[in-house]
Amino acid sequence: METLFHSSLGIQLSTRQIIEELIRFMQEDEKRNYKIIIGSDSEANNSVATDFVSAIVIHRVGNGGRYFWRRTVMHRKFHTLRERILEEVLISLQVAHEFITTTKQFQMPKFSFEIHIDVGENGETREMLQELVGMIRANNFEAKTKPDSYAASKVADRHV
């Protein structure tokens, strides 16, 4: 069974329904450039469960956007930050592949596509940066890291 995403209005939508919404949003102003972005963030909420939130963001460059999010609770302990960040990236890749596969059923307006990772040059995650960017690029996606990874570090983080 497909895990549904939430809109900002609290409506639950399938990936297919999200794509229909994104198409409508892009058709409202066809002269603009659009980015569709996937990002995930996580938080250990106790010793045996971790919340992962993934976001699908559509950015009308220079003029706002919309987003959809879903939560996945994993009932297992992640012993290190490295394990948890790696799982965030794997979840983002899964969402990205599902999304791109589903878009092939539609006449999509032109858009660029990115995956945002909640890692950067500073902090504990800096030694993982190249490895995670490499994973995303190996899947033929563009990767963005902090401070440019707002889909993960701002949007998904808001719902963790």
Cα dihedral value 109, 105, 13, 139, nearest 10: -80
Residues β-bridged to residue 143: 115
> pLDDT for 33-72, tens place per residue?
999 999 999 998 877 899 999 999 999 999 999 999 999 9
Phi/psi region, residue 123 (left: phi>0; alpha: psi -120 to 50; beta: rest), is: left
pLDDT in tens, 133-145: 999 999 999 999 9
Q: Which phi and psi (to 5°) does residue 141 adopt?
A: -120, 155
The residues pairing with 124 across neighbouring beta strands, listed in sequence order, are none
